[in-house]
Chains A and B, each alone.
Chain A
Amino acid sequence: VAAPATVFAARYLAPDARGRITAALTGVFVLVLALVLCARDPLTFLAGWELMTLVPAAIILVGRHDRAARNAVYAYIAITHFLGVGTWIAVLLLADAGAFGGTGELEIAPTTQIVIACTALVGMGTKAGLVPLHAWLPRAHPIAPGHVSALMSGVMIKVGIYGLIRVLVEWLGETPDWIGVVVLAAGAVSAVVGVVYAIFQHELKRLLAFHSIENVGIIVLGLGACLVLRGQGEEQWAALALAAALLHTLNHALFKSLLFLGAGAFERATGSLEIDRLGGLLGRMPWTGGAFLVGALAIAGLPPLNGFASEWLTLQVLLAVPANAGVGGGLAGAVGLGALAATAALAVLCFVKVVGLVLLGRPRRDRVATAVETPLPMRGAVVFLALACIALGILPGLLLGPLAGLAPWPVDDAPAAALEVPWGDALPTPGIFLFLVLGTVLLVAARSRRRTAPAPTWACGQLLEPELGWTSAGFTKPLRLVLEGALRPQREITTSVRSGVLQEVRYEGHVPHLFDSAVYRPVTRLGLVAARHARRLQSGSLTAYVAYLVALVVILLAAVRTGLVG
């Protein structure tokens, strides 16, 4: 993913000083991401972890100076640092237990184990973008340059997943059942919340950012299934669940960076990513548009692409949970199953909308009508990623064995091109791909045996005017009405009447992000109040600070004396 993204960036960035700084920082970002993954001691890991947060913030600030961008970056750093404390606690406790010396399960007391699991879930879950710790994600991704969004979504949040898998699956060994259930629940909530809010977004990159939350949810569902199944002693199934999570991680990295790079190219070509004001880009930019279409089909989880393969596998392991786990775990598995099925259908709805508004139809602005295809490196990067999506969709089974083999317990695997699960259900991806292509080609041939007749669109006699074109809000209205109780959309209709004649009707409506108002605002308010109280401590006089230090030393000495620490 990093290679296509940097090739893309080579031409995407403007050849001025700012572009050069961004390019240098992008290189640093890639190296830092690699550093975290290779870290063998806690200090390197934590240093890499913090740099991984700070470098993209710097890149965003190099590119954008306006107030909105600064606010978003501030929120991003605040949330990730504040909740990132969990990572520090978990990693330091693990280091204390000797986790970084080697691999394999550790001997840890049950209470410490629970503390580590919970803090890791908070700290690394924030980085991965789990609901309700996700609020930074839809803020930071849209304002970053296209290739940095691709790296953030494609790799950085995957590093959070990597941390979670290392901690929960490998180092902690067998955890109590309820931790698996909590992880399953977090995955289900993230998947559904991510995709529902994605549907109601009007800005392409913000929409894609919400989809990252959805896909992290799907990955975490696989991870949760792995923990629950392992707790039940179903090691074969647990290894398969881990493989499902890892396969979806890889697939999501591919198609999400493809989509973000495509969005960057569209932004460059048309100046804006307001999806109601694009349109017809498949005709104007066939290579980028075609690759974007492949990415959209993949993220919507449609056969025969890679997103479908890993969602199929995740569904299969979730099906195994009710059959093999107890009542609690089984019920969680069934709920996760329903959530994943609904998520897949919602993603189809969302990406029909995105493809329709961005790629198809007529251009909805003058600047879109004159958009030109991107230069070769940018084009090549997205086409390469699209081909990877297709290849992994046809032959996902080749990766399945090695991925399942990564589980820290022994598994027997047989390499195959297709996906297959132990109770006999199989997904012969090559067969489906072949039949699908063959059938479609035959039907297209049958269609074009006869000359086609050109005609304008017929809308029951109504003239097609740009003002009457369907918008994103219109297309998603049925769903908005169905989910009204949960989403609480706001709308406002103002009419102006002059001398008895209706002059104008203005309609405004939007779907507020409830997590911002209901969860984060009270926390922020509390934080500000606490800060006001804490300010009283800062008297500015030297003697007061000396007194604080002395008090601290005395307290520490007393604690050592009573055996509380040390």
Chain B
Amino acid sequence: VSAVSASAAAVQILGGILLAPLLPGLVQQWKARLQGRRGPSALQPYRELRRLWAKSAIDVEGATLVYRLAPSLAAGAIVVAVALVPVASSAPDLGVGHSMLALGGLLALARFAVGAAAWDTENGFALMGASRDLTLAVFVEAALVLSLAVAGGRDLAFLHWSAAARHWIVLVLAAQVFAPHAETPWLQLALLPVVLVVLVAALALAETLVAKMRMLLAPRLLAVGAAAGLLGVLTRLVELT
């Protein structure tokens, strides 16, 4: 194992697990600044995680094993997903491969677990969230923050962390796709924080400029995105021939 691939693995796992909550914190803080508010500190997600970790989990009366396992399963799936998304071209295979399609499957597994837990509690608000989350997922495998109204304590900490880690996964992926490709793996690793900060700033700006979108309009935007993707495939095909 070379030094560069070992450090890439360290950045990937430690960054994914420890730095992930920083990203939504930064988005929140910068968004508040852009809107002329003071806003919470960028470390706020860590404080919330510490607070929730100190509390005991809650077992909803009448709920089954599925409810008790779901947050752990969702977080477990996201941990595997973090191990799967490479941060640099020399990132080692951690035993789970680098298949992007497998990533989609793992994110879907996390969604399934949370949606099933929502049914188990029979909480209308949780189900509303789950229903919308799953409908949007039909059009995009994107990270969507969804929190269960009823989960408490450590379970909720797992879910909060999972949501933050999904930010990490999607942003690292976006960095790989959109950022200029550096030559050496060391340069890639060094460039990663810069690109992540730029993307966080872009996210904060976009969330400020675009008013909250009506839930039912979002699929149209995503469908336009999908159509653009298809057009891209077509141009590439014509180019090849």
Contacts and interface: CB of A to CB of B under 8 A. Distances in A.
A476 interface: yes
Interface residues of A, number: 82
Given A344-B108, A349-B135, 9 more contacts: A327-B234, A355-B116, A360-B63, A360-B64, A436-B77, A440-B76, A447-B154, A464-B123, A482-B219
A65 interface: no
Given A334-B230, A432-B80, A482 B216 contact: yes
A302 B109 contact: yes
Interface in A30-57: none
B138 A479 contact: yes
Nearest to B140: A345
Interface residues of B, number: 76
A444 B236 CA distance: 47
Contacts of A220: none
Instruction: Tell me whether chain A's interface is mostly helix, strand or loop, or mixed.
Output: helix
A217 interface: no
Interface in B75-112: 75-77, 79-80, 83, 93, 95-99, 101-102, 104-106, 108-109, 111-112
Top 5 A-B residue pairs of the complex, sorted by shortest distance between their CB atoms: A356-B119, A439-B76, A440-B76, A443-B72, A352-B115
Given A301-B105, A327-B241, A459 B79 contact: no
Interface string A251-294: 00000000000000000000000000000101100000000010
A21 B69 CA distance: 45
Interface stretch (B126-134, B180-188, B202-210): B126-134
A326 interface: yes
A10 to B, nearest CB: 30
A308 B79 CA distance: 19
Contact of A349 (B73, B77, B138): B138
A435 to B, nearest CB: 5
Interface stretch (B20-28, B30-38, B53-61): B53-61
Contacts of B131: 474-478
A345 B124 contact: no
A90 B158 CA distance: 58
Nearest to B60: A457
B60 A357 contact: no
Contact of B122 (A297, A345, A361): A361
A344 B66 CA distance: 22
B138 to A, nearest CB: 4
A137 to B, nearest CB: 23
Contact of B234 (A331, A349, A459): A331
A163 interface: no
A338 B234 CA distance: 14
Interface string A3-23: 000000000000000000000
Nearest to A346: B138
Interface string A431-465: 11011111110111011101111111111101010
B224 interface: no
B96 A428 contact: yes
A459 B60 CA distance: 12
Contact of B237 (A315, A327, A455, A470): A327
Contact of A457 (B98, B106, B150): B150
Given A352-B130, A427-B99, A453 B58 contact: yes
B31 to A, nearest CB: 26
A335 interface: yes
B10 to A, nearest CB: 17
A330 interface: yes
Contacts of A438: 76
A475 B60 contact: no
B149 interface: yes
A327 B238 contact: yes
Given A342-B138, A345-B138, A440-B73, A455 B60 contact: yes
A302 B57 contact: no
A457 B121 contact: yes
A345 B97 contact: no
A346 to B, nearest CB: 6
A468 interface: yes
A387 interface: no
